[in-house]
């Protein structure tokens, strides 16, 4: 998310404006966090493009017929949510672009009411138990950064996302923080 904010100044400005409108220079509070609309759109689009989990693991118990497909009993299944999140049929030809406006009217509208199309935290009874905590933590941390700094990408940054258990930047993300408060 920091990478995408650093490389999309227009969205960073929108997010900063929203954070400062809602919290001013006060610590983020729960009432304000639920009002962060732009931030939520940016988080969803970041999770779509670079969600930490690239796949969901399931074990087939008994034989299942799925359309023309017959899944035998006792198989391991990897559901590549990274592929679903980058499917042009679902998201359009601009699928690889960072466009938080996709989520302007919520996840249901963005996915055309196809729940499986966007599942960065998994699906069903084994979905991530940390979802609310992770989203809250991201909103608080990014709000506190945007209350104090503008973020730009360092020329040293090399784009090399890798999946080692989770998706991460192979060489880190080097950014430049500039204080919004000149006396700070």
CA 52 – CA 46 distance, rounded (Å):
10
What's the min distance (Å) between Cβ of 33 and ligand HEM? Answer: 16
Site for ligand HEM in 145-164 (CB under 6 A): none
- Out of 1, 2, 95, 123, which residue is the one contacting ligand HEM (CB under 6 A)? 123
CA distances from 97 to 48, 77, 174 (A): 10, 29, 21
Tell me the closest approach of the beta carbon of residue 26 to ligand HEM, in angstroms: 25
Binding-site member from 42, 122, 145, 146 for ligand HEM (CB under 6 A): 122
Minimum distance, C-beta of residue 80 to ligand HEM, in the bound complex (Å)? 12
Q: Token pair of 80, please? A: 């590549």
Structure tokens belonging to residue 155 = 């020329």
Helices (H), the chain: 2-7, 9-23, 30-33, 37-50, 81-85, 88-91, 106-110, 131-146
Q: CA 29, 34, 40, 43 torsion: positive or negative?
A: positive
15, 91, 121, 139: which one binds ligand HEM (CB under 6 A): 121
The window from 28-36, 114-122, 143-151, 171-179 that contacts ligand HEM (CB under 6 A) reads 114-122
Which listed residue (6, 36, 42, 53) binds ligand HEM by CB under 6 A? 53
C-beta separation of 84 from 116 below 8 A:
yes
Residue 165 CB, nearest approach to ligand HEM (Å): 11
**Chain positions contacting ligand HEM, by CB under 6 A:** 51-53, 56, 120-124, 126-130, 133-134
């Amino acid at each position: 998310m920091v990478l995408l904010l650093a490389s999309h100044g227009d969205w960073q400005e929108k997010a900063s404006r929203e954070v400062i409108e809602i919290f001013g220079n006060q610590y983020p509070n729960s009432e304000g966090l639920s009002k962060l609309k732009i931030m939520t759109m940016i988080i969803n689009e970041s999770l779509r493009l670079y969600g930490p989990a690239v796949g969901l693991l399931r074990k087939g118990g008994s034989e299942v017929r799925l359309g023309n497909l017959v899944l035998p009993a006792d198989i391991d299944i990897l559901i590549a949510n990274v592929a679903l999140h980058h499917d042009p049929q679902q998201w359009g030809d601009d699928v690889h672009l960072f466009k938080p406006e996709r989520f302007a009217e919520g996840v249901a509208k963005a996915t055309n009411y196809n729940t499986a199309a966007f599942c960065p935290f998994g699906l069903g009874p084994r979905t991530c138990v940390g979802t609310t905590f992770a989203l809250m933590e991201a909103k608080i941390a990014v709000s506190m950064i945007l209350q104090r700094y503008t973020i730009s990408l360092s020329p040293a940054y090399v784009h090399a996302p890798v999946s080692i258990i989770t998706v991460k930047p192979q060489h880190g993300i080097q950014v430049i923080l500039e204080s919004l408060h000149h006396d700070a």
